[in-house]
Structure 1
């Protein structure tokens, strides 16, 4: 029988021990985020307003207030705009504004750093301040503005089709020329892109593909939030199969809901399973696994289980694997998969973020080989995440043509 004076199953000393540790972690995260924000806004602020420019006082004061407001607004709007609403939908304009501000801050930061390289060149050439500082400030502002306008147009346009031929030694002659259309990272989100989604579907259908694949990160939000943008996917056509796997962003909202939705509109959700495509008497195993983050999400029955995906498959047949993250190719290579297709990286999306992506993933974009047999194709993505900009990382709809031998 429970002692009536005991009010908690967890000993008090354990509770007291956990609270300080959680507090320390929270303060550490806050310190790291604050340091990043100080760099992100501080470097452009110094470069544009203070570094030898000698601008009139009203310009400096006004610019400083603008940077200070952005410094405070960005984390607040990112947190309030993207945090799950617990039963109520948060206004999309908050998240969209925060995402755009993040992109502007990143581009200004990168080109402010490069602008200070220009400062050294001008210094070596004997150009003095304030002319030197003003040339750098104007150059940074002009380049950033041009890149942001161009990057926004790149993000919002219907992606161009990227065609790639891939030779697979085990592919039967009857499957030679099999056309696989690939979209990924559509990230339907706070900016309503329903018309864009319909245009993407039209372009995919024009490719007359045998297999159409969506390789994850379908949306940022629940089915209820983003169905208007996702619904054109129901009209995708393929002669043999339409297949889908989850990405990491599905696990921020409702992964099972998206799996169910794609099944409901006629796609095959390859939730750690496979199907077989046959043409001309030859067969191809098309398998799919959940995203690498699925198991850690705690969602029951979810995880990147390649063994389950290939269970019962004829291992003498060639295998096409859908796995959202390129780093999942390590498991694919060990299993002898012939071709893995992935997304996730966005090609870096906004240069030079591709350098940071490469620290986590084995490949940023394109075709690569892993081990003796396995090839990997990594798409730059069809949509965009967060900031509505693509700088030196164009989006794509990919048409893979599989070749025998």
Structure 2
């Protein structure tokens, strides 16, 4: 964990590096399952210049916001609620671009209605395995609005990446590992 967080401090960006928790993060980072806690992870990230957003937003360069959501698993794994996206976005200046980081792609209608311009998600690993990806797509198994790719609803663009890693099963079939770079340009 320490080496991974140290590597993030070397990422060269104009506006910094931002982090939101995923569904495996807090549940797995307990003393009984790892040698560090979620609080230890946050401390290491922040020590290395990474900004952790948990149901909060930050205004950058007086031009755009990054809104980081608590993961939806907060409700299922811990019995805690996360803020409604409207409560996070409504107070913001909507003349500025609003980027939302939401690990699970499962709140598209509310995020579009609230006025997000861009929502970035992961979680699905692109379906990870054949035939899982096809079954999820065909039968709408699960709660995700999208398994992979780009979609636009109203004025909101949604991107779901398959990510670079796997899940409990240590390989992927039918999808690729990827590192996504998104360039947002002003009109």
Shared fold (TM-score, shorter chain, > 0.5) = yes
Instruction: Give the structure 1 partner of residue 102 of structure 2.
Output: 323
Displacement of 1:250 in angstroms is 1.3
- 8 Å CA contact retained: 1:323, 1:340: yes
- 8 Å CA contact retained: 1:381, 1:397: yes
- 8 Å CA contact retained: 1:382, 1:395: yes
Deviations 1:39-81 (A, max 9, x none): xxxxxxxxxxxxxxxxxxxxxxxxxxxxxxxxxxxxxxxxxxx
SS at match of 1:375: strand
Instruction: Give the structure 2 partner of residue 46 of structure 1.
Output: none
Displacement of 1:290 in angstroms is 0.8
Choose which of 359, 369, 380 in structure 1 pairs with 2:162: 380
Q: How does 1:393-404 map to 2 (within 5 A)?
A: 393-404=175-186
Detail structure 1 runs of 4+ shifted over 4 Å in the superposition.
none
Displacement of 1:258 in angstroms is 2.9
Displacement of 1:261 in angstroms is 2.9
Give me the whole-angstrom Cα distance separating, in 1, the residues matched to 2:148 and 2:77: 26
Choose which of 2, 26, 48 in structure 2 pairs with 1:251: 26
Instruction: Give the structure 1 partner of residue 174 of structure 2.
Output: 392
Instruction: Give the structure 2 partner of residue 231 of structure 1.
Output: 6
SS at match of 1:401: coil
Is residue 2:16 matched to residue 1:241? yes
Choose which of 358, 362, 367 in structure 1 pairs with 2:150: 367
- 8 Å CA contact retained: 1:339, 1:376: yes
Displacement of 1:308 in angstroms is 4.8
Instruction: Give the structure 1 partner of residue 73 of structure 2.
Output: 293
Choose which of 301, 314, 335 in structure 1 pairs with 2:114: 335
Is residue 2:134 matched to residue 1:355? yes
Give me the whole-angstrom Cα distance separating, in 2, the residues matched to 1:298 and 1:384: 23
Give me the whole-angstrom Cα distance separating, in 1, the residues matched to 2:181 and 2:17: 14
Displacement of 1:230 in angstroms is 4.2
Instruction: Give the structure 1 partner of residue 34 of structure 2.
Output: none
Displacement of 1:256 in angstroms is 4.0
Instruction: Give the structure 2 partner of residue 284 of structure 1.
Output: 64
SS at match of 1:243: strand
Mark the CA change 1:323 to 1:304 in structure 2 (over 3 Å): closer, same or farther. Answer: farther
Displacement of 1:391 in angstroms is 1.6
Higher helix share: 1
Deviations 1:261-312 (A, max 9, x none): 322221111111111222xxx6011111011111333376x62442453364
Displacement of 1:231 in angstroms is 3.3
Give me the whole-angstrom Cα distance separating, in 1, the residues matched to 2:39 and 2:79: 9
CA RMSD, 1 decimal: 2.2
Instruction: Give the structure 1 partner of residue 32 of structure 2.
Output: none
Q: How many residues align?
A: 175
Displacement of 1:229 in angstroms is 4.2
TM-score (norm 2): 0.82
Ranges in structure 1 where 5+ consecutive residues have no aligned partner: 1-225
Ranges in structure 2 where 5+ consecutive residues have no aligned partner: 30-37
Give me the whole-angstrom Cα distance separating, in 2, the residues matched to 1:259 and 1:323: 17
Q: How does 1:5-404 map to 2 (within 5 A)?
A: 226-254=1-29, 255-278=38-61, 283-298=63-78, 303-310=82-89, 312-358=91-137, 359-360=141-142, 361-370=144-153, 372-404=154-186
